[in-house]
A and B are shown apart, each in its own frame.
Chain A
């Protein structure tokens, strides 16, 4: 019975892991995310703006006492690490209030606490065999590879969206310029003709 209780407690304590979210932030709006953390828990926040306007956003992080731990204006991407000094609710906010018409797509990666152990009774304190420690190091390296892939995926998404935007703009403005060209040349000819027509009638009336 005690063992069950202990296992449940360890499960709750260790289940924090990490959350990756990509969300849309409309203009003039603020979006906040909250996480309940224990004292001494280490957390990492990574964010990147994938789409919208100048690809920048305001971000600030506060602790349970409303002290500002991190505050940046108009950042494209950043990373922030902190060890929780207090137990309570920590807040991460993103603000697009400076923008009047462009909504932003923001990627957030909030990692807190320890990774969930593979099996409930895997106790990290006991010594690992060589095979097990090899597996563990491969696991850690693969996590780095996966994170690196996520980074590149986000950069690629941002570049691709910019390229698609450019493509659209090129079409739009090419057609626009052709129309303006026709309108202007026609307008010039008509105006010039109208000058001479008026002058003719003026000459006719004065004589």
Chain B
């Protein structure tokens, strides 16, 4: 029993912090990398990152370097900053959306020692989980004392809830799309009429002006 408990404990620790084998990319010193997450409201997003620095001496990427931090900035669909924090070389950030739409997650390095960055390349392992993927099922099972079957059903419930939220968001987006299309339709209609009217008025003005001009010059 204690072995199982310690296993669960160790797992929770690992699940919390490190994206051990996530997708990684390279980022320059002053470079800012932004990712967009289009999510419905009341959705939780957990992002985990791990950095490695290029070491010229060994010619490889060294694991976690102290003094090398990453600044994480998260903006909501109204471009309002909802999170702007400095994290260490390994970090975990989390936020819950309150408005549906495109949230922007930006990362840039904020090294305290410029010398560290002489190689110019920083490797960032990034893992972003959204919605029901953020749930830590071993933790939920332990907390609510659920059997395996109950846990599976709980997972299905979470999945269905997320699908429902996404569908509500889809309805909201379709409405926006429809309003944009109707606005375009109106604009095309009114501007066509307006331009025809302006054209006719301008033509009439031109003829009258020229007629009076020619009459003045005694050509007509």
CB <8 Å contact, B159 and A3: no
Residue among A3, A129, A160, A188 having the largest count of chain B Cβ atoms under 10 Å: A160
Q: Do B37 and A22 touch (CB < 8 A)?
A: yes
Which of chain A's residues 40-79 have a Cβ closer than 8 Å to chain B?
Answer: none
By beta carbon, the residue of chain B nearest A160 is B177
A118 touches B155 (CB 8 A): yes
Classify the interface of chain A: helix, strand, loop or mixed: helix
Q: Residues 1-23 of chain A: 1 if any B CB is under 8 Å from the residue's CB, otherwise 0?
A: 10110011001100110011111
Interface residue? B115 (CB, 8 A): no
- Considering the chains assembled together, what is the distance between the CA atoms of A12 and B20 in angstroms? 7
Does A189 belong to the interface (CB within 8 Å)? yes
Q: Does B96 contact A (CB under 8 A)?
A: no
Q: Does A139 contact B (CB under 8 A)?
A: yes
A156 engages B148 (CB within 8 Å):
no
**Among candidates A3, A8, A146, A178, residue contacting B14 with C-beta atoms closer than 8 Å:** A8
Q: Find out whether the CB atom of A178 lies under 8 angstroms from the CB atom of B23.
A: no
Minimum CB distance partner of A152 in chain B: B170
B16 at the interface (CB under 8 A from A): no
Residues of B within 8 A of A177 (CB): 195
Contact B35 A22 (CB under 8 A): yes
A146 to B21, CA, bound (A): 24
Nearest Cβ in chain A — how far from B44, in angstroms?
15
Q: Mark A143-182, 1 if CB is under 8 A from B, else 0.
A: 1011001001100110110011011001100100110011
A153 to chain B, nearest CB (A): 6
Residue in A3, A19, A139, A188 whose CB lies within 8 Å of B206: A188
A80 surroundings in chain B (CB, below 8 A):
none
Q: Does A136 lie at the interface of the complex (its beta carbon under 8 Å from any beta carbon of B)?
A: yes
Are B11 and A120 in contact, with the CB atoms below 8 A? yes
With A11-B14, A118-B155, A174-B191 as known contacts, state yes or no: A23 contacts B210, CB within 8 Å.
no
Interface bin, chain B: 35 or more
Taking a contact as CB atoms under 8 Å apart, the answer to whether A185 and B38 are in contact is no
Query: Which B residue's beta carbon lies closest to that of A8?
Result: B10
The residue that B184 contacts in the complex, of A19, A142, A166, A182, with Cβ under 8 A, is A166
In Å, the complex CA distance between A45 and B4 comes to 36
| Contact indicator per residue, chain B 137-164, by CB within 8 Å of chain A (1) or not (0) | 1100100000011011101100110110
Cα–Cα, bound, A87→B25 (Å) = 19
Contacting A at CB under 8 A, from B19-64, are 19-26, 33-38
Are A122 and B148 closer than 8 Å at their CB atoms? yes
CB-based contact B137/A196 at 8 Å: no
Q: Which of B10, B138, B163 contacts A4 (CB 8 A)?
A: B10
Structural contact, A149 and B213, CB atoms closer than 8 A: no
Q: Given contacts A8-B14, A11-B14, A200-B217, could you give 5 more A-B pairs where the C-beta distance is less than 8 Å?
A: A21-B35, A119-B137, A131-B149, A142-B163, A146-B163
Closest 6 CB pairs of A and B: A174-B191, A135-B152, A22-B36, A167-B184, A142-B159, A185-B202
30 contacts between A and B (CB under 8 A): A4-B3, A12-B20, A12-B21, A19-B126, A19-B128, A20-B130, A21-B23, A22-B35, A22-B36, A22-B37, A23-B35, A24-B36, A35-B22, A105-B36, A118-B137, A119-B137, A122-B148, A129-B149, A135-B152, A142-B160, A142-B163, A145-B163, A146-B163, A146-B166, A149-B170, A153-B38, A153-B170, A170-B187, A174-B195, A189-B210
